[in-house]
Amino acid sequence: MVTGATLRAITAAVTISAAVPAVALAHRGAASPTKLVGSPAAGKTLFISTCGLCHRLRDAKTAGTIGPELDKVDLTQAMIIKAITYGGSSVMPKAQVAKYPTQMVPYKNVLSKKQIQDIAAYVYKATHA
């Protein structure tokens, strides 16, 4: 669970410039994966406690206003994993990054690989139903 101090640290203005591997883009019109990596059920609980303070997602009934409203973005599960692992700007065009005064920091040292996969599975399933 994210504490107040952790949330303040996470939402501090951060410039993320780490080089990360490219991830192929796929959109809602594209074929969805046959099997999600991770558990959407476990991911929902993690999303609400870790991500919901910043992100709005209708399925999770979260009302965060710091980051993008996830119902309005179109990301593959691989892109969601990349955003959680390396930070939000790792999957956003520079023009879009500039619209947000704060950037989501990398969670690779905060969450386990399995937790990241679970959250990504949940967000993908919730936004591609």
Residue 100 placed within a domain:
yes
Residue 108 placed within a domain:
yes
Residue 49 placed within a domain:
yes
Burial of 97 (0-12, 13-18, 19+ CB in 10 A): middle
Residue 57 placed within a domain:
yes
Instruction: Please list the pLDDT of the chain residue by residue as tens digits (129 residues).
Output: 555 444 444 443 332 323 333 333 334 444 445 588 999 999 999 999 999 999 999 999 999 989 889 999 899 999 999 999 999 999 988 888 888 888 899 999 999 999 999 999 999 999 998
Domain tally, the chain: 1
Q: Which domain holds residue 51?
A: 4-11+39-127
Residue 21 placed within a domain:
no
Could you tell me the CATH number of the domain that includes residue 115? 1.10.760.10
Written as one string, the DSSP assignment of 66-85 is SS--GGG----HHHHHHHHH
User: For position 3, what pLDDT does the model report?
Assistant: 52
Six-digit token string for 53: 């303070």
Residue 87 placed within a domain:
yes
